[in-house]
Amino acid sequence: MRSALAALFVREVKIAGRIGGGATVGLVFFLILVTIVPFGIGPERQLLARIGPSILWIAALLATLLGLDRLFQADDEDGSLDLLMTSEVPLEILVAVKCCAHWIMTGLPLVLASPFFGALLAIEPPGLAGVGLSLLIGTPALTFLGAIGAALLVSLRRGGLLMAVLILPFTIPVLIFGVATASDLSGPEGPGFQPLMVLAALTLIAAVTGTFAAAAALRVLLR
Protein backbone atom coordinates (compact mmCIF):
# COMPACT_ATOMS: atom_id res chain seq x y z
CA MET A 1 0.00 0.00 0.00
CA ARG A 2 2.83 2.37 0.82
CA SER A 3 4.51 1.71 -2.52
CA ALA A 4 1.22 2.41 -4.33
CA LEU A 5 0.75 5.70 -2.49
CA ALA A 6 4.36 6.68 -3.12
CA ALA A 7 3.97 5.89 -6.82
CA LEU A 8 0.78 7.98 -6.98
CA PHE A 9 2.51 10.87 -5.23
CA VAL A 10 5.49 10.78 -7.59
CA ARG A 11 3.13 10.54 -10.58
CA GLU A 12 1.17 13.61 -9.48
CA VAL A 13 4.35 15.63 -8.94
CA LYS A 14 5.75 14.64 -12.34
CA ILE A 15 2.47 15.46 -14.11
CA ALA A 16 2.29 18.87 -12.45
CA GLY A 17 5.86 19.61 -13.42
CA ARG A 18 5.45 18.38 -16.99
CA ILE A 19 2.26 20.32 -17.61
CA GLY A 20 3.80 23.47 -16.20
CA GLY A 21 0.52 24.49 -14.59
CA GLY A 22 1.63 23.79 -11.06
CA ALA A 23 4.35 25.78 -9.45
CA THR A 24 5.32 27.96 -12.42
CA VAL A 25 1.93 29.42 -13.36
CA GLY A 26 0.85 29.84 -9.74
CA LEU A 27 4.10 31.55 -8.81
CA VAL A 28 3.96 33.90 -11.79
CA PHE A 29 0.32 34.73 -11.03
CA PHE A 30 1.30 35.39 -7.41
CA LEU A 31 4.09 37.73 -8.50
CA ILE A 32 1.84 39.59 -10.95
CA LEU A 33 -0.78 40.33 -8.29
CA VAL A 34 1.78 41.45 -5.74
CA THR A 35 3.48 43.68 -8.31
CA ILE A 36 0.32 45.31 -9.65
CA VAL A 37 -1.22 46.27 -6.30
CA PRO A 38 1.36 48.96 -5.36
CA PHE A 39 0.69 50.71 -8.67
CA GLY A 40 -2.98 50.87 -7.79
CA ILE A 41 -2.76 52.10 -4.18
CA GLY A 42 0.37 54.25 -4.43
CA PRO A 43 3.96 54.03 -3.22
CA GLU A 44 3.35 54.94 0.45
CA ARG A 45 5.50 52.50 2.44
CA GLN A 46 3.46 52.56 5.65
CA LEU A 47 0.24 51.79 3.81
CA LEU A 48 1.87 48.99 1.83
CA ALA A 49 3.36 47.48 4.98
CA ARG A 50 0.01 47.62 6.78
CA ILE A 51 -2.01 45.92 4.05
CA GLY A 52 0.86 43.78 2.75
CA PRO A 53 -0.16 40.58 4.60
CA SER A 54 -3.70 40.88 3.23
CA ILE A 55 -2.40 41.33 -0.31
CA LEU A 56 -0.12 38.32 -0.02
CA TRP A 57 -2.88 36.14 1.37
CA ILE A 58 -5.40 37.13 -1.31
CA ALA A 59 -2.79 36.52 -4.00
CA ALA A 60 -1.93 33.14 -2.48
CA LEU A 61 -5.60 32.20 -2.34
CA LEU A 62 -6.20 32.97 -5.99
CA ALA A 63 -2.93 31.36 -7.08
CA THR A 64 -3.73 28.18 -5.14
CA LEU A 65 -7.15 27.82 -6.74
CA LEU A 66 -5.60 28.37 -10.17
CA GLY A 67 -5.62 25.05 -11.99
CA LEU A 68 -7.15 23.19 -9.04
CA ASP A 69 -10.15 22.28 -11.18
CA ARG A 70 -7.83 19.90 -13.07
CA LEU A 71 -7.05 17.91 -9.92
CA PHE A 72 -9.36 15.05 -10.95
CA GLN A 73 -10.32 16.00 -14.51
CA ALA A 74 -7.07 14.78 -16.05
CA ASP A 75 -7.53 11.39 -14.38
CA ASP A 76 -11.15 11.27 -15.53
CA GLU A 77 -10.18 12.00 -19.12
CA ASP A 78 -7.53 9.28 -19.41
CA GLY A 79 -9.49 6.69 -17.41
CA SER A 80 -7.06 6.45 -14.52
CA LEU A 81 -9.66 7.80 -12.11
CA ASP A 82 -11.73 4.64 -12.60
CA LEU A 83 -8.68 2.58 -11.69
CA LEU A 84 -8.09 4.66 -8.58
CA MET A 85 -11.70 4.24 -7.50
CA THR A 86 -11.53 0.45 -7.89
CA SER A 87 -8.20 0.23 -6.08
CA GLU A 88 -7.84 -1.63 -2.80
CA VAL A 89 -6.54 1.59 -1.25
CA PRO A 90 -9.39 3.69 0.22
CA LEU A 91 -10.35 6.54 -2.05
CA GLU A 92 -10.05 9.03 0.81
CA ILE A 93 -6.36 8.24 1.18
CA LEU A 94 -5.80 8.60 -2.56
CA VAL A 95 -7.53 11.98 -2.53
CA ALA A 96 -5.35 13.09 0.38
CA VAL A 97 -2.19 12.04 -1.48
CA LYS A 98 -3.26 13.95 -4.60
CA CYS A 99 -4.02 17.05 -2.49
CA CYS A 100 -0.63 16.86 -0.77
CA ALA A 101 1.15 16.57 -4.12
CA HIS A 102 -0.83 19.52 -5.47
CA TRP A 103 0.06 21.63 -2.43
CA ILE A 104 3.75 20.81 -2.72
CA MET A 105 3.75 21.88 -6.37
CA THR A 106 1.62 25.02 -5.91
CA GLY A 107 1.30 26.07 -2.28
CA LEU A 108 4.83 25.40 -1.04
CA PRO A 109 6.52 27.54 -3.73
CA LEU A 110 4.23 30.42 -2.71
CA VAL A 111 5.27 30.00 0.92
CA LEU A 112 8.95 30.00 -0.01
CA ALA A 113 8.55 33.04 -2.28
CA SER A 114 6.38 35.07 0.11
CA PRO A 115 9.31 36.71 1.99
CA PHE A 116 10.80 37.96 -1.27
CA PHE A 117 7.47 39.22 -2.58
CA GLY A 118 6.64 40.70 0.82
CA ALA A 119 9.78 42.82 0.58
CA LEU A 120 8.23 44.44 -2.49
CA LEU A 121 5.40 45.60 -0.22
CA ALA A 122 7.78 47.16 2.33
CA ILE A 123 6.98 44.55 4.98
CA GLU A 124 9.57 44.43 7.77
CA PRO A 125 11.51 41.18 8.46
CA PRO A 126 9.34 40.16 11.48
CA GLY A 127 6.28 40.64 9.30
CA LEU A 128 7.80 38.56 6.52
CA ALA A 129 8.37 35.69 8.95
CA GLY A 130 4.79 35.98 10.18
CA VAL A 131 3.38 35.94 6.65
CA GLY A 132 5.50 32.94 5.69
CA LEU A 133 4.44 30.97 8.76
CA SER A 134 0.76 31.78 8.29
CA LEU A 135 0.89 30.71 4.64
CA LEU A 136 2.71 27.51 5.57
CA ILE A 137 -0.03 26.57 8.01
CA GLY A 138 -3.04 27.94 6.13
CA THR A 139 -2.51 27.21 2.45
CA PRO A 140 -3.02 23.42 2.80
CA ALA A 141 -6.59 24.21 3.91
CA LEU A 142 -7.15 26.03 0.62
CA THR A 143 -6.04 22.98 -1.34
CA PHE A 144 -8.26 20.56 0.58
CA LEU A 145 -11.27 22.86 0.28
CA GLY A 146 -10.59 23.27 -3.41
CA ALA A 147 -10.54 19.50 -3.81
CA ILE A 148 -14.25 19.46 -2.96
CA GLY A 149 -15.04 21.80 -5.84
CA ALA A 150 -12.72 19.87 -8.15
CA ALA A 151 -14.56 16.64 -7.32
CA LEU A 152 -17.99 18.19 -7.78
CA LEU A 153 -17.02 19.55 -11.20
CA VAL A 154 -14.95 16.58 -12.35
CA SER A 155 -17.16 15.97 -15.38
CA LEU A 156 -17.54 19.64 -16.29
CA ARG A 157 -14.96 20.99 -18.70
CA ARG A 158 -13.60 24.48 -18.05
CA GLY A 159 -15.30 24.72 -14.70
CA GLY A 160 -12.56 26.77 -13.06
CA LEU A 161 -14.68 29.89 -12.62
CA LEU A 162 -17.62 27.93 -11.26
CA MET A 163 -15.34 26.12 -8.83
CA ALA A 164 -14.01 29.44 -7.55
CA VAL A 165 -17.56 30.67 -6.99
CA LEU A 166 -18.38 27.50 -5.04
CA ILE A 167 -15.24 27.36 -2.93
CA LEU A 168 -14.32 30.99 -2.21
CA PRO A 169 -17.01 31.50 0.47
CA PHE A 170 -15.62 28.54 2.45
CA THR A 171 -12.08 29.96 2.28
CA ILE A 172 -13.03 33.24 3.96
CA PRO A 173 -12.39 31.98 7.55
CA VAL A 174 -8.96 30.73 6.47
CA LEU A 175 -8.23 34.09 4.85
CA ILE A 176 -9.36 36.05 7.94
CA PHE A 177 -7.31 34.06 10.44
CA GLY A 178 -4.36 33.81 8.05
CA VAL A 179 -4.10 37.60 7.86
CA ALA A 180 -4.71 37.87 11.62
CA THR A 181 -1.92 35.37 12.28
CA ALA A 182 0.53 37.26 10.07
CA SER A 183 -0.38 40.56 11.77
CA ASP A 184 -0.24 39.22 15.35
CA LEU A 185 3.08 37.44 14.95
CA SER A 186 4.70 40.71 13.90
CA GLY A 187 2.66 43.05 16.12
CA PRO A 188 4.27 45.64 18.39
CA GLU A 189 2.85 43.94 21.49
CA GLY A 190 4.66 40.72 20.65
CA PRO A 191 3.47 37.55 18.98
CA GLY A 192 -0.08 36.42 19.62
CA PHE A 193 -0.79 32.76 19.09
CA GLN A 194 -4.59 32.62 19.31
CA PRO A 195 -5.18 33.25 15.57
CA LEU A 196 -2.36 30.81 14.80
CA MET A 197 -4.06 28.05 16.78
CA VAL A 198 -7.40 28.76 15.10
CA LEU A 199 -5.72 28.72 11.67
CA ALA A 200 -4.09 25.37 12.43
CA ALA A 201 -7.45 24.01 13.56
CA LEU A 202 -9.11 25.22 10.36
CA THR A 203 -6.44 23.45 8.31
CA LEU A 204 -6.98 20.18 10.18
CA ILE A 205 -10.75 20.47 9.77
CA ALA A 206 -10.37 21.25 6.06
CA ALA A 207 -8.02 18.29 5.60
CA VAL A 208 -10.55 15.87 7.07
CA THR A 209 -13.75 17.31 5.61
CA GLY A 210 -12.19 18.09 2.24
CA THR A 211 -10.78 14.59 1.84
CA PHE A 212 -13.98 12.76 2.77
CA ALA A 213 -16.29 15.19 0.93
CA ALA A 214 -14.24 15.01 -2.28
CA ALA A 215 -14.13 11.20 -2.13
CA ALA A 216 -17.89 11.05 -1.54
CA ALA A 217 -18.55 13.42 -4.45
CA LEU A 218 -16.42 11.29 -6.78
CA ARG A 219 -18.28 8.15 -5.77
CA VAL A 220 -21.67 9.72 -6.37
CA LEU A 221 -20.85 11.50 -9.63
CA LEU A 222 -18.88 8.68 -11.23
CA ARG A 223 -21.01 5.76 -10.05
Q: What is the DSSP string of 110-163?
A: HHHHHHHHHHHTT--HHHHHHHHHHHHHHHHHHHHHHHHHHHHTTTSTT-HHHH
* Distance, CA of 185 to CA of 207 (rounded, Å): 24
Contact (CB, 8 A) for 84 and 94 = yes
Instruction: Return the pLDDT at 18.
Output: 64
User: Measured between alpha carbons, how far is residue 180 from residues 64, 166, 193 in Å?
Assistant: 19, 24, 10
Q: In which domain, by residue range, is 60 found?
A: 2-221
Rounded average pLDDT over 79-102 = 83
Rounded average pLDDT over 36-65 = 84
Instruction: Return the pLDDT at 198.
Output: 92
Q: Model confidence at 184, in pLDDT bands (50, 70, 90)?
A: confident
**Residue 143: closest CA among 110, 102, 115:** 102
Q: Is the pLDDT of residue 160 over 80?
A: no
* Distance, CA of 106 to CA of 140 (rounded, Å): 10
* Distance, CA of 70 to CA of 101 (rounded, Å): 13
**Residue 160: closest CA among 65, 89, 29:** 65
Q: What is the pTM of this model?
A: 0.88
How many domains are there within the chain? Answer: 1
Q: Is the pLDDT of residue 105 over 60?
A: yes
Q: Give 205-223 pLDDT, tens digit per residue.
A: 999 999 999 888 888 876 6
Q: Give 112-139 pLDDT, tens digit per residue.
A: 988 888 888 888 887 888 889 999 999 9
Please tell me which residue, 19 or 176, carries the higher pLDDT value: 176
